[in-house]
Each structure stands twice: as structure tokens, then as C-alpha cells.
Structure 1
Amino acid sequence: MQKVVIWGAASGLGAAMVEHFVELGYDVTGVARNPSKNPFLAQVSTLVCDATDPQQVENTVEQIPNDAWVISSMGSFQAQVSVDYIGHRYLIDALQSKGIKRFVLVTSLGCGDTWPFLSDKAKAVFGGAVREKSLAESWLQTSALDYTILRPGGLKNGPSNGLGVLSQSGEVHGSIARGEVAALVQQLLQSESSIKQIYQCVE
């Protein structure tokens, strides 16, 4: 049974991905600073980690088998210490040091070369977090990991619905259900052609 380790599992997209992969029978471990925020995590193995602490990240990664699929959608909008860049930098470095290869980083539309397509309003509200996520993407792209980057549009509650569309170029706007993002992450993990690729997705 494939091991899947999901960082940011206590809420939002990470929580939706835990449920998706559990329902499909994967061996799931959720990683979160406060797992008690997500009652569903009582059904799976969990690891407690504050990703802004490099030693905690290293200790947590040491507990992950090398053949695991690792997924992260960690984020901390308007937090005093943002995890978006530094937490992912620590995680990427620790995965590389341990020899864990397969990693999917979920960021958002507006990151990297899609920044010009983000509205002025969105830049004013979320711009700081998007720039931090863009730094994480750059750090990942210069690592030795077998990475895939996924940039979803606006996230909404809901299960997988088969409406998600992956693309790799052009201006994209729209929203997507968290469960559908989880299904697309699964699809990308199962495809070797997605390694070292960047995708965007909306419904």
C-alpha cells in the first residue's frame, strides 16, 4: 500500500486531501502543528510538527519512509511567522537530505510566472502570501527532488467532481473544490510525466 504523507493536514486543503486519500485506501499520515483541529486525523497516523522550526521538520522527516509520496499545501495567511516559504524550505531540504524523492507542492494561481494575471485586489489581499509561495516554488525547482507544483484557483468546499482542468500555460481564472484538487494531486503523483512540471487548475 502506497504511503502518503500530507503536510498541513489540520485544515483547509490539507484536511481535504487526507480524507480523499484515506477513502481510496492509501496509507496516510497527516502532519500538522495542531492535529486536534481536525477530528478526522484520529482515523490516521499523525505527526506533530511546527514547520517554522527546522529541527522539528528534520525530526519529522526522519520518521517518513523514503518511498513515501509527500504532499504539502501548508500556508499561514497573515501569520506572524509565515510558513509559506521558510517552512517549505526546511521541508524541501530535509526531504532531500533523507533521500525522499517524490513531492507535490500545492501553491496557488498568481505564483511565479502567473503573478501578472493576479488582480490588483488579490495582490493587495493575498500578495504577500503568494510571493512567499513563489519563493518556495523557486527553492523546490533548484532541489534534487522529483517534484510537481500545482497552482489551484480559488478554493471552495466540496468533494471531487471530475470538473478540474489541468493546464500549463496561459491566463487562467476561476475556482475549484478542495476535493477535486486532491483528486488532481493523486493523478499527478501517479504520472511520471508530471515530474519537474508546473500545473494550474480550475473547474
Structure 2
Amino acid sequence: MILVCGANGLLGRAICDKLPREKTIAVLRKDAMDTFFSERNIAVEIADLLDLESCNALLQKTQPEILITVVGGKNEQGIRSDKTANINLIKAVEKYSPTTKVVLVTSVGCAEQWDLISPLAQQALGEALKAKTEAEAYLQQTALNWLIIRPGGLNNDEVNDEYQIVRDLPNERKMYVSRKSVATGIVRLLDSTENHQIFSIINRG
């Protein structure tokens, strides 16, 4: 079973669309306002990922083979789920489902890539990238199986295969890559035996 956390976002939905539906569970903060998941027969779990006990209950119940998290953003109280929710999920996996492989989707510009993005991007995304970097660091010090995937800037182009998976960012690269292409790349990495690795997914152009 594959648990997709943050499934109701645009990237989360794109990932769900590319996974085997009978093996996919979409984790939502509240019920979807449309029929996206029901018409695809994708199972849904409702959980508040900012609450550790909610994460514990989710992992205790589902015990998935793989957990993909694309959780991000900030709530009304200013708490960034990029850090808090992702670390809660990782802690819950450690406690209740330690054989689960965690696939943490963050962003180009995290950690050692900070100096490789523009000053404008640093200013606009600094708070989010810091939170995502802290989640990455927490995951890396666990004994879990994990992958960290850092997409470039996301757009809604319809292309599914205009991407490349790299370990090191090239100096010359396009800033944006389609969500559908990133979803394709993520699913491709799931099918590999890669473990304890960090990859970036950027535009192929």
C-alpha cells in the first residue's frame, strides 16, 4: 500500500493519478470538495498531520509499504506543515511502521542547494525552504528507508515527461517543471531500489 500525504494538492493529485489505484490511499485534511478521489476509486483517510497523535493513528492503522509526503504550506496560526507535519509523519513511521519507506518531497533550494537558487527565490521561499530543510535533516538521522526528492518550481503544463532526475543541480537549468512531469519522476523513483538518496527533478530543457 502507498500512502500519499498532501494528496489534495495539485502535485498530490498528479501523483495519485499515476499510482495503481487499488494500492493507493490519499490522506486529506478534510473531505475533498469534488469527486476526484471517489471517481477514481482511491481510498481516502482524513488526518490532521499537524497533530502527532493523528499521525500515529494513521500509521498504526495503515502501515503502508511506502509513504509519499508532499505536505507543505502554513496554517492560520503560522505553523508550517513543511516542517511540523512532515516530522510528525516521520515520527509516526518510526514508532508504528518502521519498515515503511518514506519519500519526502521538498524543493530545489533546500539545504546545500540554497546558494544555487537566485536571491529573488531565496527571499520569496526562504521560510518554506528552511522548514523543508529541517524535515529533511530529521529524516536523514533516522534508521528508516527514505528518499528525498526536490522538484524545481512547479507549473500546470500538461506535459508528463519533460523532466530529468539529477543528483547534482546543473548551473544552467530552467526554473519550472510541470507537476505531471514531477509526478512521473517520483513514481519512476519508487520503482527503483534507490535508498538513502537525494534527487532533484527539473525540466529536461
With normalisation by structure 1, the TM-score equals 0.90
Query: 1:70 — aligned with what?
Result: 67
Q: How does 1:52-71 map onto structure 2 within 5 Å? A: 52-66=50-64, 68-71=65-68
Cα offsets for 1:158-185 (capped at 9, x unmatched): 4552221011114455211111111111
In the alignment, the residues of structure 2 paired with residue 198 and residue 132 of structure 1 have an alpha-carbon distance, to the nearest angstrom, of 17
Q: Is the CA contact (8 Å cut-off) linking 1:75 and 1:82 kept in structure 2?
A: yes
State the superposition RMSD in angstroms.
1.7
The residue type equivalent to 1:126 in the other structure is L
* Contact 1:15–1:38, Cα closer than 8 Å, also in 2: no
Alignment of 1:4-43 (within 5 A): 4-21=2-19, 24-37=20-33, 39-42=35-38, 43=41
CA distance in 2, matches of 1:141, 1:26: 30
1:70-149 to 2 correspondence within 5 Å?
70-77=67-74, 80-98=78-96, 99-149=98-148
Matched, 1:185 2:183: no
Give percent identity, aligned residues only.
Answer: 26
Q: Structure 1 residues 50, 151: CA separation in 2 closer, same or farther (over 3 Å shift)?
A: same
Instruction: Confirm or deny: 8 A CA contact 1:160 1:182 kept in the other structure.
Output: no
* 2:160 corresponds to: 161
Q: Distance in 1 between matches of 2:80 and 2:187?
A: 27
Unaligned runs of at least 5 residues, structure 2: none
In structure 2, distance between residues paired with 1:200 and 1:127? 18
User: 2:18, 2:187 within 8 Å by CA — same for their partners in 1?
Assistant: no
| Structure 1: distance between partners of 2:147 and 2:2 | 15
Alignment size in residue pairs: 197
- Output the CA distance in 1 between the equivalents of 2:138 and 2:195: 16
Structure 2 distance, partners of 1:26, 1:165, is 28
| Alpha-carbon contact 1:49-1:56 (below 8 Å) kept | yes
Gaps of 5+ in 1: none
State the alpha-carbon separation in 2 of the partners of residues 128 and 144 from structure 1.
27
Q: Please say which of residues 86-95 and 40-49 is displaced more in the overlay.
A: 40-49
1:60-118 residue CA offsets vs partner (Å, 9 max, x unmatched): 1112134x211000001575211111111110011111223311111001001100112
Specify the code of the residue in structure 1 equivalent to 2:23.
D
Q: Work out the CA distance in 2 between the residues paired with 1:155 and 1:188.
A: 18
User: 2:186 is aligned with what amino acid?
Assistant: V
Residue 144 of structure 1, CA deviation: 1.4
